Amino acid sequence: MYLDNLENIEFLLNTSVAIIMLGMGLSLTIEDFKRIKEEPKSVFVGLFNQLLLLPLIAIVLIFLLRLKGEYAVGLMLVAACPGGATSNLISNLAKGDIGLSITLTALSSIITVATIPFIINFALIKFMSTDEAIQLPYLTIFLKILLITIIPVVLGMIIRAKCESFAIGMKRPVKIASVLLMAAIIIGAVATNKEQLTTALPIIGPAVIGLNILTMLLGFFSGKFLHLDLKQRISISIECGIQNASLALAVVGMALSQYKELALVPATYGVLMFVFGGLFAAYFARLVTNRSTV
């Protein structure tokens, strides 16, 4: 079973995440990061929502829905992860601000290398039946996440800087491969754990769907409140609501494989985010089209 063999497929998970992040790096240049200086408000709003408000929404949902134990920790893990290749793809389909989407994904990926271990440990202490701090291998987790996220992104950027025509030519195939790899990870997790998911879905389904929808709505309307343009609001919405579920599964394999049911939450989230992310993308694309024809 998938949940019983996370350690055995850790290499596959880590390699898949690294390829996804490499593909993102092929889309980036140093100029993309100048957005922080040129348009700090949109970047700040996106990061504030994703890094602070998203975990807080997860905590509220855990208490409101009385989510217990490993399911609660799993939801916190999903909330702690950055966006990924899927958020950039969905932003593109939704006709959002692609530069902003990529910038937010890259920056959140860098920041969450440090924050994921602390959020995991907080969740384990808070929601598991223990009075003692669970000692996680912080340095190991940090280094592994660095290895499978930041280093591939930087490598992709170097390839683009050295051979731009090759990087541009490979950008679309690598992005498609990235999404297919991520989908394969999620579908594999679901297909091999149908019985556990059938039992768990009534419990974790509302929390996963709630996290997905509420964070997308929060991202969109917080941007509207702060007078960001429509395309910026769309990208912030998707970056807040579409998390890197394959990275969450990889983290479980790295350091949390003893908590087998933890993986059910990111596996379920990874499937449902395509459904609701797709619906939001279709609605947002129509908004942009209607706005441009007015």
Q: Which of 150-159, 259-268, 284-293 has the highest mean pLDDT?
A: 150-159
What mean pLDDT do residues 170-175 have?
74
Each residue's pLDDT tens digit, 192-244: 667 766 777 888 889 999 999 999 999 999 988 988 988 899 999 999 888 88
Mean pLDDT to the nearest integer, 248-254? 77
Nearest by Cα to 66 from 210, 217, 195, 197: 210
User: Which among 196, 250, 235, 260 has a CA at the least distance from the CA of 92?
Assistant: 235
**CATH classification of the domain holding 166:** 1.20.1530.20
Out of 143-147, 157-161, 273-277, pick the least confident: 143-147
156: nearest Cα among 10, 5, 292, 28: 28
Mean pLDDT of the chain: 79
Tokens of 198: 């059938």
Please tell me the total count of domains within the chain. 1
Q: For position 294, what pLDDT does the model report?
A: 46
Q: Using the 8-state DSSP alphabet, how is residue 229 labeled?
A: -
Residue 92 has pLDDT above 80, yes or no: no
Per DSSP, helices labelled H in the chain are 10-25, 30-33, 35-38, 40-48, 54-64, 69-80, 85-93, 98-127, 138-145, 151-162, 164-191, 194-225, 230-241, 245-255, 264-293
pLDDT at 1: 46
Give yes or no for a contact between 289 and 38, defined as CB atoms under 8 angstroms apart.
no
> DSSP characters for 18-71?
HHHHHHHHTT--HHHHTHHHHSHHHHHHHHHIIIIIHHHHHHHHHHHTT--HHH
Which tens digit of pLDDT belongs to each residue from 99-112?
788 788 878 878 88
Q: How many residues does the chain have?
A: 294
Tokens of 204: 């974790």
Indicate the residue type of 207: A
* pLDDT above 50 for 132: yes
Residue-number span of the structural domain to which 89 is assigned: 3-293
